[in-house]
Structure 1
Amino acid sequence: MDIVLTRTYFSDGTNGKIECEGRFVCYTIELPWLDNAKQISCIPEGKYLLRRRYSPKFQWHVEVADVANRSSILLHPANNAQKELKGCIAPVTKVSGAGLGLQSRQAFLKVKCLVYSALERNETVLLIVQS
């Protein structure tokens, strides 16, 4: 299964939308593009494997695997990219500014259910990041 994240870049943050099989799922917020610098930039455009991950902080969430020169890139709830993200992607219900969104937990649960359902069917889940 392919999940497509289409981005729009701004100096203060990156906004996007996630679609699966041509259907809108949610919006996203990320840090601005700063040449893939660790903890201050969004990740490069490309194709990435998604997998389940657990941490005490975020509980069960989604990991974006094999990002060049980066580790622990996650999909997890956040409403302010500058304050709450270190290179990760936050699904949001509504975008409220560059790198800002609302009702992230609801949007994250939609994405998590979509990804986990596919993984339970033994499908490979790819995130395609594009502009």
Structure 2
Amino acid sequence: MVLLLIRTYFPDGTNGKLESEGRFICYTIELPWHDNGKGVSCIPEGEYLLRRRYSVKFQWHIEVVDVENRSSILFHPANNAQKELRGCIAPVTKVSGAGLGFQSRQAFFKVKHLVYKALERKETVSLIIQSNPSTPLNDDKVEK
């Protein structure tokens, strides 16, 4: 299973659209791009493997594996990237602004269900992250 995350970058946050096999799953919110800085930036564009992970704080969730210079990058519920994320990806049902959304828990359970079903079938689940072609990441669009 391949998930495709198409991002749009803003100075205050990153918004995305998550899909699989051309079908929309949900929107996403993340921190803005700050050169992959730990705790302050979304992760770099690229391809990553996903796996199940458990923590006391988030219970069962999804981990993004082998992110360069980063660890514990997760998919988990959050509605405000600046206040609730430290580099992770939050699925949301609706986007309300740059790095802001609504009904994250509902969207997260939808993503988790799809990913866990694929993993139960012994499928490899990967995430491809790329820029929205109309708003590519570049230094002109990112606040430093």
Q: TM-score range by the shorter chain?
A: over 0.9
Residue in 1 that maps onto 2:135: none
Q: How many residues align?
A: 131
Percent same amino acid among aligned pairs?
80
Q: Deviations over 1:31-85 (max 9, x none)?
A: 0000000000000000000000000000000000000000000000000000000
Aligned to 2:140: none
Task: Provide the TM-score with structure 2 as the length reference.
Answer: 0.91
Q: Give deviations 1:89-114, integer Å, cap 9, x for gaps.
A: 00000000000000000000000000
Structure 2 regions of 5+ residues with no counterpart?
A: 132-144
- Superposed, which structure 2 residues align to 1:92-111 within 5 Å? 92-111=92-111
Structure 1: segments with no counterpart, 5+ residues: none
Q: Using the alignment, how far apart are the partners of 2:120 and 2:74 within structure 1? A: 19
- 1:77 alignment partner, SS class: coil
Distance between the aligned counterparts of 2:77 and 2:127, measured in 1?
17
> Equivalent residues in 2 for 1:1-131 (5 A)?
1-131=1-131
Partner SS state of residue 122, structure 1: coil
Tell me by how many angstroms 1:126 deviates. 0.2
Q: 1:118 deviation in Å?
A: 0.2
Cα distance in 1 for residues equivalent to 2:39 and 2:122: 31
Structure 1 length as normaliser, TM-score? Answer: 1.00
